[in-house]
Amino acid sequence: MFLHPDQDPRSDGGFVGERDTLVGFLRDQRLTMEMKCAGLDAEAMARRSVEPSNLSLLGLVRHLAGVEQAWFRRVMAGQDVPRHYRSDDDPGGDFNGALPDPESVAQAWDTWRSEVAFAERFVAEAPDLGVTGTHDDEPIALREVLVHMIEEYARHNGHADFLRERIDGRVGQ
């Protein structure tokens, strides 16, 4: 276990209403990703899983920063901003550019936290969960985006479980 249950910052459910439920579960998934990466240096954060995969914890943080940006800034808020790590020339840049450099790790966390803060503000200020953005020329409701984000984090937290276990043997939570 990474933390004693009394020190776990995640909720134990008990959410009331649709917005609180979706926001609460997404918050807990985000916290789980942070916990999976806690206490690791740049080398460990950038350590790849197994060849030929380029999967790493740092790559996941970079990828999730991009996912947050894509869904909340680009799709829901309609902002035309350049992607953080991906490009047409390197669509796997989230993972390809995850190098064992302390500055790169700090920058990835700063970018991720900035995108999470934007998303949290956007959701808090939305009049309801039926507000829509545009994805692939189709409307998509904020509630769908929140459910998708919970799924996205849950999947990648599973990857993070295996990556962390390979790095130092830590499992759980």
Q: Is residue 3 part of a domain?
A: no
Contact 35, 153 (CB under 8 A): no
Residue 135: beta bridge partners?
138
Residue at 109 is within a domain:
yes
Please indicate, yes or no, if residue 9 is contained in any of the structural domains: no
CATH of the domain at 145: 1.20.120.450
pTM of the model: 0.92
- How do residues 49-89 score in pLDDT, each as one tens digit? 988 899 999 999 999 999 999 999 999 999 999 999 999 99
Q: Which domain holds residue 55?
A: 15-168
Residue 5 lies in a domain: no
Nearest CA among 74, 75, 66, 70 for reference residue 132? 75
CA nearest neighbour of 26 among 124, 95, 169, 135: 124
* 139 occurs within a structural domain: yes
Question: What share of the chain has pLDDT > 90, as a percent?
Answer: 83
Q: How many domains does one find in the chain?
A: 1
Q: How far apart are CA 112 and CA 61, in angstroms?
A: 7
